[in-house]
Amino acid sequence: MFENFTVIPSIDLKGGQVVRLLRGDMKRATVYGANPGQTARRFEEAGAALIHIVDLDGAIAGAPRNVEAIAKIRAAVKCAIDVSGGLRTIEAVRAAIAGGAERVSIGSAAILDPELVRRACAEFPGRVFGSIDIREGRLAVKGWLETSQLTVAEAADRFRAAGIAAAIVTDISRDGAQAGVDAARMEEIAGVVRVPVIASGGVASLDDIRALRMRFDAGIVGVVVGRALYEGNFSLIDALAAAVC
């Protein structure tokens, strides 16, 4: 799936609007637009092959809440979309796929209900990502409101056994903060996870993208970029260029 290092723009949804949180705090949301479809179209026109969509309300509620906004995104673009947030039943996963998602990302459910991930991977081989959200070395679940006692290695074992296609690893302490990525730490995690890793959280500059791209052979196959694009630190066109040179 990931033959080359991939830059994946993110659209986070809260109340149908495009937002970014600071370090996962729902009370610290910056609104960047009220038209998710338009945002997605801009990313596709800039060259995005895959867009990562996060239903923030769904992640906290435990069931999808921004279905209409995701449908608008699907209608607006032809590129692949990855849907996450609140997918904690096989019915929710099936509905996301039926709604046009090429990929789904499952996080909390992997910790709370490991059988769901196995079922999803069996029904949709190659289309399920695992979300590993890390706060101070531990896994955060339920919209990052709670911390699991599972270690990253234990969660990775579950995901790997289930057959996920890749793991989106988010450093919550850096997410939305434009603090820069800890590429060396991500490389360490990739060594533990032992499935393709998509890094997320903290991207502030093109150098962050280059630092991760240089670790492609170590298992880091892509990066999710959010606030840095919305704040204009660089364009998606420039980010895609940095991923190949």
- Annotated catalytic residue 12: yes
Q: For the chain, give me the number of helices (H) and strands (E)?
A: 11, 12
pTM for this prediction = 0.93
**Among the listed ranges 120-129, 167-176, 205-214, which one has the minimum average pLDDT value?**
167-176
Q: How many CB atoms lie within 10 A of CB 33?
A: 14
pLDDT tens, residue by residue, 38-63:
999 999 999 999 999 999 999 889 89
Q: Residue 221: name the closest of 3, 25, 35 by CA.
A: 3
pLDDT exceeds 90 at position 216: yes
More confident residue, 135 or 151: 151
- Catalytic: which of 82, 133, 175, 182? 133
Give the integer Cα–Cα distance in Å for 136 and 134: 6
Positive/negative CA dihedral, 96, 151, 9, 173:
positive
- Annotated catalytic residue 57: no
The answer to whether the beta carbons of residues 213 and 198 sit under 8 Å apart is no
Give the integer Cα–Cα distance in Å for 195 and 95: 26
User: What tokens appear for 200 in the block?
Assistant: 């997320």
Find where tokens 């799936």 sit.
Answer: 1
- Report strand pairing: 103-106 vs 6-14: unpaired
